[in-house]
């Protein structure tokens, strides 16, 4: 794949998805966010009744159906996600139905909407309004009956097709030229990953002249740096793979994700390993 390819820039992606990051973050820190939500509930009670009534009138109200996976204790907390959505978009749900995916109703909904990843949320049509539209539509598909099914999830979640739980937190390896002071920095990659809720337990920064750096460059035929390689767990972040990655990099035969499109950086400089010189994007 060419190192330069026209398309949306990483910076533009970050501008457009600033509201998405807090919600995707819930997928891996649901316990902490739930604590925050619980702390916020008593604070809401400090408002007067009139203030509460006016706030309710201005909210977008919708129903949600949660399809859970009781066998997956490590899967993300879908209820915390829904609570976070309501708080961040001035909306609320008036009815909540919860079905395990093995229940009769759960099976019916999974078959009806061809759901392949759980846990997930089905939103009533009224969720497709105002600022909620921006967030829900980004993560969901609109069905024939107007309901919205959330399909772009962050791990851990269960893939019903393969009957496996897919984990997140990929190993991330950055390749840089330490001598290129004008090259764009890996902070841009880090901000992008955070915007999609991608965090890693193990991250490495390698010089392109180091033995390990050379090995990775040769293995994936990397021609421009800075670059970044995520192991195969990076592909489990379905929103990231659906919206961002097609214009940023490649999926290798071993499942790794390799950044290649330096033009996506926007205005900046990079080091061309073929020409052995610094170029502008």
H helices present in 128-237, as ranges: 130-139, 187-195, 211-220
Neighbouring CB atoms inside 10 A of 28's CB total 18
Domains and CATH numbers, the chain: 29-165 (no CATH), 168-273 (3.40.30)
Q: Where are the strands (E) in 167-215, listed by range?
A: 172-176, 203-207
How many angstroms from the chain centroid is the CA of residue 160? Answer: 20
DSSP string, 160-179: TTTTEEEP----EEEEE-TT
Mean pLDDT of 69-95: 80
- Reported pTM: 0.78
Q: What is the mean pLDDT of the chain?
A: 81
Distance CA 45, CA 115 (A): 38
- Measured CA to CA, the distance from residue 146 to residue 212 in angstroms comes to 51
Which residues contact residue 255 at a Cβ distance below 8 angstroms, ignoring those fewer than 6 apart?
Answer: 231, 232, 235
Asked whether the beta carbons of 86 and 55 are under 8 A apart, the reply is no
Helix (H) or strand (E) holding 64: strand 60-68
CA atoms within 13 A on the CB side of 134: 14
- Following CA atoms 130, 132, 135, 138 in sequence, which dihedral angle do they give, to the nearest 10 degrees? -70
Rg (CA), the chain: 21
Contact 189, 226 (CB under 8 A): yes
Distance CA 30, CA 81 (A): 8
Quick one: pLDDT at residue 35?
A: 29
Question: Kind of pairing, strands 172-176 and 203-207?
Answer: parallel
Of 23 and 102, more confident = 102
**pLDDT per position as a tens digit, 250-266:** 999 999 999 999 999 88
**Assigned token pair, 88:** 């961040």
Q: What is the rounded distance in angstroms from the CA atom of residue 268 to the CA atom of residue 10?
A: 12
pLDDT digits (tens, 9 = 90+) for 40-78: 323 233 233 334 443 444 567 888 999 999 999 889 888
pLDDT tens track for 130-161: 655 677 788 899 999 999 999 998 899 999 99
Residue 140 three-state SS: strand
Model confidence over 189-225: pLDDT tens digits? Answer: 999 999 888 999 899 999 999 999 999 999 999 999 9
């Amino acid at each position: 794949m060419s190192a330069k390819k026209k398309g949306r820039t990483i910076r533009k992606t970050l501008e457009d998805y600033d509201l998405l990051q807090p919600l995707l973050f819930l997928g891996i820190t649901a316990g902490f966010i739930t604590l925050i939500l619980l702390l916020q509930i008593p604070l809401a009670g400090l408002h007067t009744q009139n203030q509460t009534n006016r706030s309710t009138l201005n909210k977008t109200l919708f129903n949600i159906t949660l399809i859970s996976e009781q066998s997956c204790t490590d899967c993300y907390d879908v209820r915390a996600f829904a609570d976070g959505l309501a708080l961040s978009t001035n909306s609320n749900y008036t009815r909540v139905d919860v079905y395990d995916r093995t229940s009769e109703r759960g099976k019916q909904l999974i078959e009806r909407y061809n759901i392949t990843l759980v846990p997930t949320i089905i939103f009533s049509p009224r969720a497709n309004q105002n600022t909620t539209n921006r967030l829900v539509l980004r993560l969901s598909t609109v069905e024939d009956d107007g309901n919205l099914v959330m399909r772009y999830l962050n791990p851990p979640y269960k893939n019903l097709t393969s009957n496996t739980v897919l984990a997140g937190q990929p190993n991330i390896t950055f390749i840089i030229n330490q001598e290129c002071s004008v090259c764009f920095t890996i902070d841009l990659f880090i901000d992008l990953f955070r915007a999609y809720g991608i965090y890693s337990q193990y991250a490495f920064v390698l010089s392109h002249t180091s033995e390990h750096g050379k090995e990775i460059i040769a293995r994936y035929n990397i021609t421009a740096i800075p670059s970044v390689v995520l192991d195969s767990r990076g592909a489990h972040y379905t929103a990231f793979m659906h919206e961002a990655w097609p214009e940023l990099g490649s999926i290798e035969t071993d499942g790794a994700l390799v950044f290649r499109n330096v033009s996506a950086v926007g205005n900046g400089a990079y080091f061309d390993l073929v020409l052995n010189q610094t170029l502008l994007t």
